[in-house]
Amino acid sequence: MTAGRLTSVAVVVGVAIAIALVVGVPEIAQPVTSCTLGPEVATAWIWTPSVLVNVPLGGSAAWGSIQLGWTFVSGSLVARTPNPGYLGGAALSPGSNEVGINGVVGLGNWSVYRTQNVSSAFGTGSPCGQPYVAEVNGGLTCGAGGSLSTVLPLPDNASDLGELHSVPPVSPQSCPQAATPGAELWFDTAYHAGAATGPYASETIQLCGTSSATPLNVSLGTAAEYAVVVSVPVSGGVVHASGDLSWNGSVATPFGIIPTAEYSLPGGWVWNISTEEPGTLPTVTNPSTTALLAFERSSC
């Protein structure tokens, strides 16, 4: 073979390799779509709950918090607002006046942002899952804490089924800043009857007979969480952002360590119990849970 023929073969092979590389690059580096924070579309002052723990009728409840915040997720975008206030712990003692919900409510200044998809040649991420996310600016003000039976009353103190899903605009009233008309924060800490597993798992525990004279103390040692939806009016409609409020304990006090949440269920009753988020329900032999709880009490 002559030198000229060798040269032509090498050129052909080189061109073939170059074509293969050009064609193969788009398959190796697929474009990635991620979700990012877009422009602010609305702001509002909204009566906002933070820690909320249901109190079993005739029993008691407690909570502890060293970290607290609201989280809104849209694809790869995570918007989290830590609340610098209301950290610590609180407890209620058994008694006829300890009903409803134990926790903290205040007025928060909320901002709602549009989410937007962006594409890049490399990286990781996922497209937006909801069109808006929300953040609260600073901590809550003008609030109420402890037993919230006057702020969030129950129509039947033996059941958490009828709990309110928003803080009434007239309570509490000790704040110079007015809430924004039409704006609302929806939350769900109510009792839900369901299967033994699922988003709202439920079960029945019978604390009847002489063996149940001692209250059943149930504790949540991991993070507590419940669902929220921020709704703010804008020109032409209302925008919504779905997220979660969560907090974590435990907190040391002069009386011992307060878990993230703790419940004391008095004996002599039948208790229907449900989780507020997916989690493990307590039993008599293992009185611990991985989710906040709601209750219904009935006679043995």
Q: Per-residue pLDDT tens for 203-218?
A: 999 999 866 678 899 9
Q: Residues 6 or more apart from 113 whose CB is under 8 A from it?
A: 37, 38, 39, 40, 41, 79, 132, 133, 134, 135
Does 245 fall in a domain? yes
- Across the range 10-23, mean pLDDT stands at 39
Residue 200: in which H helix or E strand, if any?
none
Query: Range of 164's domain?
Result: 30-189+225-255
Cα of first residue to Cα of last residue in the chain, in angstroms, is: 102
Asked if residue 204 belongs to a domain, the reply is: no
Domain contains 262: no
Report whether 166 contacts 196 (CB < 8 A): no
Predicted confidence (pLDDT) at residue 152 exceeds the cutoff of 70? yes
Quote the pLDDT of residue 127.
93
Residue 55 has pLDDT above 50, yes or no: yes
pLDDT digits (tens, 9 = 90+) for 247-294: 988 777 676 777 899 999 999 999 999 999 999 999 999 999 999 999
Q: Does the pLDDT value for residue 13 go beyond 80?
A: no
Q: How far is CA 235 from CA 114, 239, 264, in A?
A: 14, 10, 48
* pLDDT of the residue at 176: 80
Judge whether residue 56 has pLDDT over 70.
yes
CA pair distance 96, 86, nearest whole angstrom:
26
- Residue 156 counted as domain residue: yes
**Please, which pLDDT band fits residue 115 given cuts at 50, 70 and 90?**
very high
In a domain, 161, yes or no: yes
Residue at 146 is within a domain: yes
Under the banding of pLDDT at 50, 70 and 90, the label for residue 139 is: confident
Q: Has residue 294 been placed in a domain?
A: no
Q: Give the position of tokens 């607002």.
A: 81
Number of domains in the chain: 1
44 vs 64: which has the higher pLDDT:
44
State yes or no: pLDDT of 237 exceeds 70.
yes
pLDDT at residue number 7: 39
In a domain, 43, yes or no: yes
